[in-house]
Structure 1
Amino acid sequence: MSKAISAENISQYQSALENTPASDVLQRGVMNNGILKSAESTLPQTTMEQTFSIDLETGAVANQKQSGRCWMFAALNTMRHQIQAQFKIKDFELSQNYTFFWDKFEKSNYFYENVIKTATEDIDSRKVAWLMANPQGDGGQWDMLTALIDKYGIVPKYVMPETFSSSASNQMNAVLNQKLRKDAVTLRGLVAAGKSADEIEEAKSKMLSDDYRILAYSLGTPPTKFDFEYRDDDKEYHIDRDLTPKTFFEKYIGWNTDDYQSVINAPTADKPYNHLYTVEMLGNVIGGREVRHLNLAIDDFKQIAIKQLEAGETVWFGSDVGKESDGKLGILDTALYDKNALFASDFDMTKAERLDYGQSLMTHAMVITGVDIVDGKPTKWKIENSWGDKAGQKGYFVASDDWFDNYVYQVVVNKKYLPAAIQDTIKAEYDQPTVLKPWDPMGALA
């Protein structure tokens, strides 16, 4: 039987508070300064200095501003690092707005297809409710970005520059999501009325035409051809005419996107290590690259990231950046706030418990550009963020190795750095991965 809180209980709790050592001092401190400032330790500020045994030169950081495009910024940053070094173009950027446009457009179609697929389910089914909660948003995964690049290519930033809505996406998202939910009403109605597949497809095509117009007004019209014009760091002038976005990617990046693998560290009971996973209804490009996560133990997970850094290539990664972090200082460290001591309580949870019970999941993507190796083991990691140069140290953060263990969930590495047996597993399971539910924490969008 449920039991209410009694007056006697409250009296006991008040007595326990009064008997807590220095409770009056602690109470004043928290009331005046807030929890985090009151619990903050100064030790990480002395141990998390930005000196690393492996430190790749990457230049000035980018700024995603008031948008949720960190996954795009992080991925395009790993690619621009190569262009900067190979062609000697300091602080060069690729257009995040270009990929943003196509992601929004493809997500609209992806949403429509899932609405049609689930149209016979009750409107209050968990799957339909999950779809309608956020028809599309700014976030994404590495595989979703490569699906866009494979189909549409990329362009330099000046070819499709930022707009009001790319830098502050709330208004555009609100309008587009209103439109998508309205279209969901229509599509479900067409299915309920027994309309043919051709009739439904015709209605969907008209909807997509409207979506394209909304995005073009908000973000601009994506270019089909352009000239790549620049002056390198030696003041030499270069121009490459009549490039398409795809030929630009092939010529100036030249990656085979299939060479790169998303690797996760999810130590939950439902995800055995050394196997491949996907997430139902997670994606953007219909018929494009699908999400595939390889789950590895944390030590293996870190070692492949280190191998890629040692080879001179930066690493895209996803983490829960809001946990145990100070954005102003640019410090990510589990020793940053001692809430246990402040409240005389136990807040500790394992990584698996945080995932299972909703305390943590991936919220932000950044780039690993360095690591400090001491006695063969990593002690701290250098991070390139996309919040501009006012955060951290000119935009760069430092993460303790313990924070990495606890709050980093995904890295993307070239498959050549994976053991041969793991590469064989990827090939064997790629077409039949374990399918996770849409709301699984490994489906979180950075």
Structure 2
Amino acid sequence: MSHEITSEQLDQFNQNLHEQPTSSVLERAVTKNGILASSYDWHAVSDSDPVFSIDLDTGDVANQKQSGRCWMFAALNTMRHDMAQKFGLKKFELSQSYTFFWDKFEKANYFYENVLKTAQQPTSSREVAWLMETPQQDGGQWDMLCALIEKYGVVPQSAMPETYNSSKSNEINTTLNRKLRQDAVVLRQLVADNASEQEINDTRTNMLNTIYRMLTYSFGQPPVKFDFEYRDEQKTYHREANLTPQSFFKKYIGWNLDDYVSIINAPTTDKPYNQTYTIDMLGNVVGGRAVKHLNVTMADFKQLAIEQLKAGESVWFGCDVGQSSDRQKGIMDLNIYNEAALFDTPFSMNKAQRLDYGDSMMTHAMVLTGVDLVDGQPTKWKVENSWGPKVGTKGYFVMSDAWMNEFCYQIVVKKQFLSPELQAAQSQEPVLLKPWDPMGALA
């Protein structure tokens, strides 16, 4: 049964509007200033004083500029923090352009893999439509960066600096996705024509050769060997020649990436706690490390982050940064905007409902570098962003603990901080989720 909007209803709506004593005032305010400015609550600012009982010194904030590499910046920043302490390197960055190059190259191959896996399905199938919507993009997850490092290592920014396309990625993404969709047409036709496996593989290799050339023109050719020079905090000069990306990672970072695991908080009925999950067709390196999440309660989630911060190590995390967030002041607080009072209507979905109904998902990755504990309980968190020093407090944000409850979805911590029960849960084989599951969202 359909319900057309009637003229009688419109008359009633107008009458109801004019019966609101502040309707004309609010109309003027919102049309002039917008929803967020009109609903801004300055009281939330006073609760976001950037002082923390645990506060790691992590140096200057980096800037991802006009690219979606936050997950990459956040992960490399956690490694940079460790390097700074070990080698006295305060003003130093690892090359985000280097990992960006290899991520896009590997994502192209991963896309081809999934095109061939779904080649028997019609283009109208949900899986094929999902693949073709965005063949590749800038975003990613922690395990995807681990897969890149395990295969290609890392380099200092001096060995592969930023380029126009790494800092402003829209053009390369548009061009690359157009090419990948065209390649999908060819690969699917080869399968339809019963082409031999050799013919398909040869075609795929030629496609990858073209992708490599496109990326080299856009980002420069990744270094195979390089020299590393720096002065430490004591002004002592250091130089090491003929490093490879793998040897640089081993000597200057030296992490066992298997020690770090992804922890999520997804309180939806389809994801029981203390169970691991992976997502179909989510990844970048074919044959590389798979995405794997352990779902835990929010209490466990926060306690794990606190334990790692207490140990002096920053924490990679993923959240929905656009929710209740003042980008300029660097404040993430549930009370920063009061749209409910402005429009006189509740906005009352809980975290599970927001995930199930598409109102929220992980959109951005940053780094926890501090927390304010009062009587042992967190009240606010210090966040290192990757939007440069002109926002927040020299690039650092303040996140209320209540905001973390609602809009934080993922952290990465060392296994050693997990209880024996959680370690046992993390070792389980993961449940396979659909490609479009919100826990597969890319930061």
| Category of TM-score, reference length = shorter chain | over 0.9
Q: Give distance in 2, aligned partners of 1:267 and 1:298.
A: 9
- The within-5 A match list for 1:85-234 is 85-234=85-234
Q: 1:241 is aligned with what amino acid?
A: A
- The within-5 A match list for 1:266-277 is 266-277=266-277
Q: Give distance in 2, aligned partners of 1:332 and 1:198.
A: 53
Q: Give distance in 2, aligned partners of 1:282 and 1:214.
A: 23
Q: 1:445 is aligned with what amino acid?
A: L
C-alpha deviation, 1:336, in angstroms:
0.4
Q: 2:126 is aligned with what amino acid?
A: R
- The within-5 A match list for 1:9-408 is 9-408=9-408
TM-score, scaled to structure 2: 0.99
Q: 2:24 is aligned with what amino acid?
A: D
Q: 2:46 is aligned with what amino acid?
A: T
Please list the CA deviations of residues 236-261 of structure 1 after superposition, one character each: whole Å capped at 9, or x if unmatched. Answer: 00011111100110111111101100
Task: After the TM superposition, list the runs of 4 or more consecutive aligned residues in structure 1 that deviate by more than 2 angstroms.
Answer: none
Please list the CA deviations of residues 295-317 of structure 1 after superposition, one character each: whole Å capped at 9, or x if unmatched. Answer: 00101100000000000000000
1:439 — aligned with what? Answer: 436
Q: Give distance in 2, aligned partners of 1:86 and 1:344.
A: 54
The alignment partner of 1:157 has SS state of coil
The alignment partner of 1:371 has SS state of strand
Counterpart contact for 2:294–2:425, Cα < 8 Å: no
Gapped runs of 5+ residues in structure 2?
none
Q: 1:301 is aligned with what amino acid?
A: F
The total of aligned residue pairs comes to 443
Q: Give distance in 2, aligned partners of 1:311 and 1:344.
A: 46
Q: Give distance in 1, aligned partners of 2:93 and 2:232.
A: 14
Percent identical pairs in the alignment equals 61
RMSD: 0.6
Q: Give distance in 1, aligned partners of 2:333 and 2:233.
A: 37
Structure 1, 211-220 or 5-14: larger mean CA deviation: 5-14
Q: Give distance in 2, aligned partners of 1:60 and 1:169.
A: 23
C-alpha deviation, 1:21, in angstroms:
3.1
Q: 2:442 is aligned with what amino acid?
A: L
Q: 1:401 is aligned with what amino acid?
A: D
Q: Give distance in 1, aligned partners of 2:238 and 2:383.
A: 32
Q: 2:286 is aligned with what amino acid?
A: I
Q: 2:20 is aligned with what amino acid?
A: T
Q: Give distance in 2, aligned partners of 1:433 and 1:221.
A: 37
The alignment partner of 2:158 has SS state of helix
Counterpart contact for 2:314–2:367, Cα < 8 Å: yes
The alignment partner of 1:159 has SS state of coil
Q: Give distance in 1, aligned partners of 2:14 and 2:409.
A: 40
C-alpha deviation, 1:347, in angstroms:
1.1
Counterpart contact for 2:44–2:336, Cα < 8 Å: yes
TM-score, scaled to structure 1: 0.99
Q: Give distance in 2, aligned partners of 1:340 and 1:184.
A: 46
